Amino acid sequence: MTFPLVQLGTSDLRVTPICLGTMTFGEQVNEADAHAILDRSLARGVNFIDTAEMYAVPAKAETCGATETIIGNWFAKNPGARNQLVLATKVAGPSRGMPWIRENSGMNGQDILAACDASLRRLQTDVIDLYQIHWPERHVPAFGMAYYDPSKEKSVTSIHEQLDALAQLVKAGKVRYVGLSNETPYGVHEFVRLAEQHGLPRVQTVQNPYCLLNRTYENALDETCHRLNVALLAYSPLAFGLLTGKYDEGGIDGPTAPQGAQGGRMSAYESMRKQRWGRPEALAAARRYNTLARDNGMTPTQMALAFCYTKWQVASTIIGVTSVAQLDADLDAWGTTLSPEVLAAIDAIRWDVRDPAL
Q: Which of 55, 210, 217, 309 is catalytic?
A: 55
- 131 is a catalytic site residue: no
Given a contact cutoff of 8 angstroms between Cβ atoms, the answer to whether 311 and 347 are in contact is no
- State the catalytic residues: 55
